[in-house]
């Protein structure tokens, strides 16, 4: 039986704990790590983060230690850190959960990160669809400033660092690491071909570190326990815990924090989610909209980045959406492709036209008008989109379609013959 391993969400069930109270946070051990970091110096902090081998939780899984090293070595005294709280991936609500449960973990994590990389300015890029958080963040910053934990001369050690919250533009692509910079600069949130690394030239051409909220919220624990201890949680390549956003047809949807490598996807659905809400599982979407639709045969996959990679999958931002026997995978893929066609910023042709083309093909499949030849051609276009799109949105937009054709070939074939056994698509008696 799998149970949670709360590190980021450790204060969720603490009696009487008020997430907005800095006193409660400090009483629970908060800001001890910042003091420890400042006693040991920036170099020590970066070494501990590197030793922890923590990989970014925003989707790409980049080692935070490498990124911090690159930013720290920039000679500029005008560097920036951005907490990516865009959380636009379909089915993801883990960062929101961290902010609801223990927002000072992010603020302290950013402050430690800034201290380690000699950064004086931070931004929290707040998801446009979460308009209620910016006023709360502003109050929390005030509380931290009044305790000498943010702003000028933090803890009397001569280190200045402050944070500003930026309201996101409400587009999925704004979470992408080049689009987020444009959006913060006040330009349209569109991805850019990168000619320089963000660590060298990011927002307003200043050396910039972009990290996901969950990545940064782990930092106080890493500093408190030491990198080596953190690395003993999880597996060699997937250290620490992950917060899973579990939703769809499960009895207990929610955000669950688990140790990586200690459970399978099936365990998470059964033990934490209470099992399928229905009679059986038809499909699972793993990793979010840009993830894969997998069959129930893959549920014994261990929840680690390396196991997912080996199976040609990705954990993405930690999304698991369960679909029961009444769902149709073709309809699901059609729905997801509608999302990408809508969210494509339109800057490059493979993504702009490719997403609409795949949407049309999926519509043909669900209405019984498609052919094997059309599906084969669409797979070629999908692979071309992976290679030729400018940014990660276009590079992964076809994943649900490709995984549908690979993993649910029998279901696609049925549709080509004019049947939808789930009676969801128009040919099966649905809409
Ligand atoms: C289309 C697109 C949307 C993204 N949205 C987010 C997001 O909402 N939050 C996030 O942290 N990362 C997002 N990412 C990943 C970021 O580009 C970047 O890799 C991440 O913020 C780096 O932080 P990490 O190393 O801590 O994961 C997105 C990437 C793409 C391609
Ligand atoms: S891949 Fe899509 S979202 Fe990214 S730049 Fe091209 S059109 Fe815009």
pLDDT tens digit sequence for 311-355? 999 999 999 999 999 999 999 999 999 999 999 999 999 999 999
Residues 210 and 301 in one domain: no
Give me the pLDDT at residue 17, please: 97
For the chain of 431 residues, list the mean pLDDT of each consecutive stretch of 10.
95 96 98 98 98 95 97 96 95 97 98 98 97 98 98 97 96 96 94 91 96 98 98 97 98 98 97 97 95 94 96 94 97 97 95 98 95 97 97 96 97 95 78 58
Here the CATH number for the domain that contains residue 249 is: 3.10.20.600
Residues 270 and 290 in one domain: yes
Give me the pLDDT at residue 194, please: 82
What residue numbers bound the domain in which 358 lies? 329-428
Residue 246 near ligand 2, beta carbon < 6 Å: no
**Sign of dihedral through CA atoms 25, 96, 319, 202?**
negative
Domain membership flag for residue 7: no
Residues 180 and 69 in one domain: yes
Query: 231, 255, 278: which is the final residue of a domain?
Result: 231
Give me the pLDDT at residue 43, please: 98
Distance (Å) from CA 58 to ligand 1 centroid: 4
Q: Are 420 and 332 in contact (CB under 8 A)?
A: no
Residues 300 and 338 in one domain: no
pLDDT tens digits, one per residue of 292-306:
999 999 999 999 999
- Whose tokens are 């923590």? That residue is 54
Residue 171 near ligand 2, beta carbon < 6 Å: no
Residues 106 and 61 in one domain: yes
**Pocket probe mutation, ligand 1, options 176, 189, 198, 393, max atoms within 8 Å of Cβ:** 176
Q: How many CB atoms lie within 10 A of CB 195?
A: 6
CA distance 307 to 368: 36
Q: Are 138 and 60 in contact (CB under 8 A)?
A: no
Q: How many CB atoms lie within 10 A of CB 135?
A: 10
Distance (Å) from CA 173 to ligand 1 centroid: 9
Residues 113 and 152 in one domain: yes
For residue 151, the cross-strand partners are: 161
Considering only CA atoms, which residue is closest to atom 31 of ligand 1?
392
CA distance 303 to 313: 11
Give me the pLDDT at residue 385, please: 97
Domain membership flag for residue 154: yes
Give me the pLDDT at residue 426, please: 79
Q: Are 105 and 233 in contact (CB under 8 A)?
A: no
CA distance 83 to 99: 12
Domain membership flag for residue 417: yes
Which ligand number lies closest to the CA of residue 174? 1
Considering only CA atoms, which residue is closest to atom 6 of ligand 1?
175
Contacts of 25 (CB under 8 A, 6+ apart): 11, 19, 31, 102, 104
Region of residue 429 (left: phi > 0; alpha: psi -120 to 50; beta: else): left
Domain count, the chain: 3
Here the CATH number for the domain that contains residue 420 is: 1.20.1440.230
Distance (Å) from CA 288 to ligand 1 centroid: 12
Give me the pLDDT at residue 428, please: 57
Domain membership flag for residue 8: no
Residue 182 near ligand 2, beta carbon < 6 Å: no
SS3 state of residue 183: helix
Distance (Å) from CA 184 to ligand 1 centroid: 15
Residues 29 and 126 in one domain: yes
C-alpha distances in angstroms, 179 versus 193, 236, 388, 405?
A: 10, 32, 18, 31
Residues 194 and 95 in one domain: yes
Distance (Å) from CA 392 to ligand 2 centroid: 8
Domain membership flag for residue 3: no
Residues 188 and 207 in one domain: yes
Residue 180 near ligand 1, beta carbon < 6 Å: no
Residues 252 and 319 in one domain: yes
Q: Are 214 and 236 in contact (CB under 8 A)?
A: no
**Sign of dihedral through CA atoms 27, 28, 31, 36?**
positive
CA distance 154 to 142: 13
Query: 304, 324, 344: which is the final residue of a domain?
Result: 324
Residues 320 and 333 in one domain: no
Give me the pLDDT at residue 429, please: 59
Query: 199, 231, 263: which is the final residue of a domain?
Result: 231
Residues 271 and 189 in one domain: no
* Closest approach atom of ligand 1 to CA 178: 17
Considering only CA atoms, which residue is closest to atom 10 of ligand 1?
58
Residue 214 near ligand 1, beta carbon < 6 Å: no
147: exposed, middle or buried (Cβ count in 10 Å: 0-12, 13-18, 19+): middle
Give me the pLDDT at residue 210, please: 98
The pair of three-digit structure tokens given for residue 98, joined into one six-digit string: 């961290």
Q: Are strands 80-85 and 208-212 parallel, antiparallel or unpaired?
A: parallel
Domain membership flag for residue 248: yes
Q: What single DSSP character describes residue 223?
A: H
Considering only CA atoms, which residue is closest to atom 6 of ligand 2?
348
User: Which element (helix H / strand E) includes 160?
Assistant: strand 159-167
């Amino acid at each position: 039986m799998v149970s949670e391993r709360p590190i980021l969400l450790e204060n969720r069930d603490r009696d009487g704990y008020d997430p907005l109270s800095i006193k409660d946070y400090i009483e629970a051990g908060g800001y001890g790590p910042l003091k420890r970091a400042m006693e040991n110096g920036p170099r020590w902090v970066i070494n501990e983060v590197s030793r922890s081998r923590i990989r970014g939780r925003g989707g790409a899984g980049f080692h935070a230690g490498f990124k911090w090293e690159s930013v720290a070595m920039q000679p500029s005294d005008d560097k920036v850190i951005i907490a990516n709280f865009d959380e636009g991936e379909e089915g993801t609500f883990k960062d929101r959960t961290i902010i609801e449960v223990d927002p000072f973990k992010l603020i302290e994590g950013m402050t430690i990160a800034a201290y380690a990389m000699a950064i004086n300015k931070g931004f929290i890029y707040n998801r446009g669809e979460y308009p209620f958080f910016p006023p709360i963040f502003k109050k929390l910053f005030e509380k931290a400033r009044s305790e000498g934990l943010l702003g000028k001369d933090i803890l009397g050690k001569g280190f200045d660092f402050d944070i500003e919250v930026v309201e996101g533009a409400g587009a999925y692509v704004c979470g992408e690491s080049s689009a987020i910079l444009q959006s913060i600069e006040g330009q349209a949130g569109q991805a850019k071909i990168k000619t320089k690394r963000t660590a060298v030239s990011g927002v307003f051409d200043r050396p910039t570190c972009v990290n996901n909220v969950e990545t940064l919220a782990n930092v106080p624990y890493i500093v408190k326990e030491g990198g080596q201890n953190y690395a003993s949680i999880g597996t060699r390549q997937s250290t620490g815990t992950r917060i899973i956003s579990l939703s769809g047809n499960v009895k207990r949807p929610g955000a669950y924090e688990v140790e990586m490598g200690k459970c399978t996807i099936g365990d998470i659905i059964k033990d934490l989610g209470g099992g399928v809400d229905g009679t059986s599982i038809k499909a699972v979407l793993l990793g979010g909209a840009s993830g894969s639709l997998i069959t129930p045969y893959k549920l014994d996959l261990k929840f680690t980045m390396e196991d997912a990679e080996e199976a040609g999958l990705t954990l993405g931002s930690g999304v698991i959406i369960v679909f029961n026997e009444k769902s149709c995978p073709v309809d699901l893929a059609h729905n997801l492709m509608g999302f990408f066609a809508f969210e494509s910023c339109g800057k490059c042709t493979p993504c702009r036209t490719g997403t609409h083309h795949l949407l049309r093909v999926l519509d043909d499949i669900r209405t019984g008008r498609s052919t094997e030849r059309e599906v084969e051609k669409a797979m070629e276009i999908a692979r071309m989109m992976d290679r030729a799109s400018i940014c990660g949105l276009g590079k992964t937009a076809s994943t649900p379609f490709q995984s549908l054709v690979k993993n649910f070939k029998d279901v696609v074939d049925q549709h080509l013959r004019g049947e939808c056994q789930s009676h969801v698509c128009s040919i099966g008696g649905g809409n």
